Amino acid sequence: MIEIRSYNLKLGTRNEFHKLFLEQALPLLRKWKVEVVTFGPSLHDSDSYFLVRSYKDLQDMQHSEDAFYGSDDWKKGPRETILSLIVNYTTVVLPADAADHLSNKITNMETATIEKTDSEQLSGLNAQFIKNFINGDVRSHNEIIHKNFVCIESNGSVIDRETYMNEWATDFANSGYTSFSYGDEQIRIFGNTALVRSTTTYTKIVDRKNITGHSVYADTYIKENGRWWCVQAHITPVKNK
């Protein structure tokens, strides 16, 4: 039989959770001879994660999990850090015949799932980027922006990370925007580098008049230690014809 555990994680913590699982929880599970079938980020949103484990029967599962979760390896190890990132979780247990069918499906889809995961993460980060801008959310934005980040503004000036983040909380409020949205998202991945491009549509007040405009931004992301960081933003205004 197999056990499928689905975790709902705190907003924006999935990359950290994945890193903790790979580096700390997974080695412990293997040390305690727990058979991990597969694991990883869910594709349906940016804050869900799954773990699939295999057992002989319900008694074996109960005995194994009591031993693992009751061990000093777990309780004095990554337990508190990992639990602090989890909002809640659910567990589903399937019998052997269903497990065999699912296992074959997982094997056939594993490579495609991994490939889709990066694209899903980057799309989620792109959405979070815009949300942070509209809300002036410095704390959340700081979790996206790389330490060596630069921004190429629409006037051609290059802004370093410190200046950029200092202005972030008030950028939208001072912009005159009355509406701001994005679309036409394009994501291209080249190993540990990715380009995320979108078109923004906005309405803003200029000389007491509402005007509508567009811009195109291209954000460069790099993947370090299992998570994506935005290392450069480039904004290009679109001139009205």
- pLDDT one digit per residue (tens) for the chain, 241 residues: 889 999 999 988 998 999 899 889 999 999 999 999 888 888 888 899 999 999 999 999 999 999 999 999 999 999 999 999 999 999 999 886 665 666 566 555 554 444 457 888 899 899 999 999 999 999 989 989 999 999 999 889 999 999 999 999 999 888 888 888 988 899 999 999 999 999 999 898 878 788 888 999 999 999 988 889 999 999 998 876 5
Is beta strand 158-160 parallel, antiparallel or unpaired with respect to 209-224?
Answer: unpaired
Beta strand 145-152 with 158-160: parallel, antiparallel or unpaired? antiparallel
Q: How far apart are the first and last CA of the chain?
A: 64
Is the CA virtual torsion 158, 164, 167, 168 positive or negative? positive
pTM over 0.75: no
- Who contacts 115 (Cβ-Cβ below 8 Å, separation ≥6)? none
Domain with CATH 3.10.450.50 in the chain: 136-238
Q: CATH for 2-94, among 3.30.1180.20, 3.30.70.2080, 3.30.70.100, 1.20.1050.140? A: 3.30.70.100
Q: How many degrees, rounded to 5, is the angle at CA 195 between CA 128 and CA 213?
A: 65
Q: Strand locations in 21-128, DSSP E?
A: 35-41, 48-54, 86-94
In the chain, list all ranges with CATH 3.30.70.100.
2-94
Tokens of 115: 């490939």
The topology under which CATH files domain 136-238 is Nuclear Transport Factor 2; Chain: A, (3.10.450)
